[in-house]
Amino acid sequence: MLATVTHQCYTKAKFKGKLLCCKKKKTAIMMEEEIMFKVNDNYQKLPGSYLFSTIAKKVSAFSQANPDKNIIRLGIGDVTQPIAPAIIDAMHKAVDEMGDAATFHGYAPDLGYEFLRSAIAKNDYQARGCDISTDEIFVSDGAKSDSGNIQEIFSVDNRIAVCDPVYPVYVDSNVMAGRTGEYDAKTETWSNVIYMPCTMENNFVPELPKETPDIIYLCLPNNPTGTTITKDELQVWVDYANKNGAVIIYDAAYEAYISEDNVAHTIYECEGAKTCAIELKSFSKNAGFTGVRLGYTVVPKELKCGDVSLNAMWARRHGTKFNGAPYIQQRAGEAVYSEAGKAQLKEQVAYYMNNAKTIKQGLKDAGYTVFGGVNAPYIWLKTPGEMTSWEFFDYLLENANVVGTPGSGFGPSGEGYFRLTAFGSYENTLAALERIKKM
Ligand code: MLT
């Protein structure tokens, strides 16, 4: 392929390629590949598409081929219950404010409105005895963005450690940044990532890695296994990180589902966590904001690399790349902490946890080996017989018309496991179980 550029253009652009110059026309003809821009090659290393996009495509193909089938979706952890009335009221009020010049709000403060940041500090931290202040909280459009973006403030030389299986965003965002080395399709692992297997053999509790990582991702209660660790076990990780100069990126998106007393609601309940941990929080799962979009990240001021403050770095990043979560959403977030909001959300969480209990018991009755579902809205089951995770996905879709998530999609140690979400409606949850029992 040949490309034509003007001679003037050629002189300015210092092309290195072979020049086939036509003086009369004052044009220079270059080999096209020599003048192409370059892409971020790291993206080319990513195998396949994002897990939940792959599943959506498969389900859509099945649905097109079987239009008469009523598919029940218990795959992606998307909520189904409506936004609580106290939150809807707050949103309506905020919408009205936006329609009046006297109360209209333009760009939000890039780190979040004070009214929301102080409600978060007071309710999620100070009420639990954790000394987290307003200026350590950064409001965002959701924990998924933050969990993908946070790696940006760390050098590309850092080595990450992840639980296996793991929420795919942590690994994929590090692949995009060029931090993970090469992909081995056979083992489905990256050469520069430290994997911490979490399987039934170790009761889904990650062990301290043999090689020392710089950045440790922990999601507790865990997505996808629905299991968690005790506060004492978490303290071991905090001590390890402080001792080894590592940082923990702690995803607490499922905190509202904790039912057992010995589980920490925030990593800052552990002594020393402020010098080694960043916490990611979401409003998606506790308040049903998957479609509203709101989350926040805590970066303590004591968290430093030498003299460099990570709090200041994240503030700089936020200021440059983010224009603040919308006013209406932030008022909705504030209502999560109102007395009425808290009571209504407690009921909503209980509704989903009743689904979790129903799925877990139903699967046990049907002879499955099941985990999770006590402190998290996910049920993690062992696939029957020798079925792989994807084989069971197809089997379930074809025979019960139920969608779940293959464990292997979360990492090699997820092979042979399968995830069902408790975020469906109770009616659909019951119907799915009836169908599974009949398979
Ligand atoms: C999941 O299904 O794992 C979650 O819904 C994904 C997410 O929260 O982004």
Q: How far is the CA of 396 from the centre of ligand 1 (A)?
A: 20
The letter for the amino acid at 32 is E
Q: How far is the CA of 138 from the centre of ligand 1 (A)?
A: 21
Q: How far is the CA of 76 from the centre of ligand 1 (A)?
A: 6
| CA 75 to ligand 1: nearest atom | 2
Rg (CA), the chain: 25
352-377 average pLDDT score: 98
- The residue whose C-alpha atom lies closest to atom 4 belonging to ligand 1 is 77
Task: Read off the tokens for 421.
Answer: 């979400």
The position carrying tokens 């389900």 is: 59
Q: What is the pLDDT of residues 300-345, one digit of tens each?
A: 999 999 999 999 999 999 999 999 999 999 999 999 999 999 999 9
| CA 78 to ligand 1: nearest atom | 5
Closest CA to 139 of 115, 110, 119: 110
The letter for the amino acid at 44 is Q
Q: Cβ < 6 Å from ligand 1: which residues?
A: 76-78, 144, 167, 223
| CA 169 to ligand 1: nearest atom | 9
Q: How far apart are the first and last CA of the chain?
A: 57
Q: Which residues contact 307 (CB under 8 A, 6 or more apart)?
A: none
Question: Which region among 24-33, 225-234, 242-251 has the lowest average model confidence (pLDDT)?
Answer: 24-33
- Residue of 50, 80, 167, 417 to mutate, ligand 1, most atoms within 8 A of C-beta: 167
Q: How far is the CA of 143 from the centre of ligand 1 (A)?
A: 10
Helix and strand counts by DSSP (H, E) for the chain? 14, 20
Task: Please give the pLDDT value at position 50.
Answer: 86
Report the distance separating Cα 133 and Cα 125, nearest Å.
8
Percent of the chain at pLDDT exceeding 70: 92
| CA 285 to ligand 1: nearest atom | 8
Task: Please give the pLDDT value at position 2.
Answer: 40
Q: How far is the CA of 51 from the centre of ligand 1 (A)?
A: 10
The letter for the amino acid at 286 is N
Q: What is the pLDDT of residues 99-141, one digit of tens each?
A: 999 999 999 998 999 999 999 999 999 999 999 999 999 999 9
The position carrying tokens 């000394």 is: 131
- Residue 33: which pLDDT band, with cuts at 50, 70 and 90? low
Mean per-residue pLDDT of the chain: 93
Task: Read off the tokens for 374.
Answer: 């006590």
Q: How far is the CA of 75 from the centre of ligand 1 (A)?
A: 9
pLDDT at 192 over 50: yes
Task: Please give the pLDDT value at position 294.
Answer: 98
pLDDT at 17 over 60: no
Q: How far is the CA of 64 from the centre of ligand 1 (A)?
A: 25
Which conformational region is residue 367 in: left (phi greater than 0), alpha (psi within -120 to 50 degrees), or beta? Answer: left
Q: Which residues contact 235 (CB under 8 A, 6 or more apart)?
A: 270, 271
Task: Please give the pLDDT value at position 32.
Answer: 52
- Cα separation values, 200 from 165, 173, 205, 261, 332, Å: 12, 27, 9, 22, 39
Report the distance separating Cα 43 and Cα 63, nearest Å.
30
- The three-class DSSP label of residue 161 is strand
- The residue whose C-alpha atom lies closest to atom 6 belonging to ligand 1 is 77
Closest CA to 439 of 349, 363, 347: 363
The model's pTM is 0.92
Question: Which region among 2-6, 255-259, 331-335 has the lowest average model confidence (pLDDT)?
Answer: 2-6
Contact call for residues 161 and 134 (beta carbons, < 8 A): no
Task: Please give the pLDDT value at position 24.
Answer: 46
- The residue whose C-alpha atom lies closest to atom 9 belonging to ligand 1 is 144
* Paired sense of beta strands 20-22 and 27-31, if any: antiparallel
Question: Which region among 15-24, 78-87, 333-342, 403-412 has the lowest average model confidence (pLDDT)?
Answer: 15-24
On the 0-12 / 13-18 / 19+ scale of CB atoms within 10 A, 84 is: buried
Q: How far is the CA of 106 from the centre of ligand 1 (A)?
A: 30
On the 0-12 / 13-18 / 19+ scale of CB atoms within 10 A, 357 is: middle
Task: Read off the tokens for 208.
Answer: 């301290």
Contact call for residues 130 and 269 (beta carbons, < 8 A): yes
pLDDT at 353 over 90: yes
- Residue 214: which pLDDT band, with cuts at 50, 70 and 90? very high
- Tally of CA atoms within 13 A in the half-sphere of 18 that contains its CB: 3
pLDDT at 63 over 90: yes
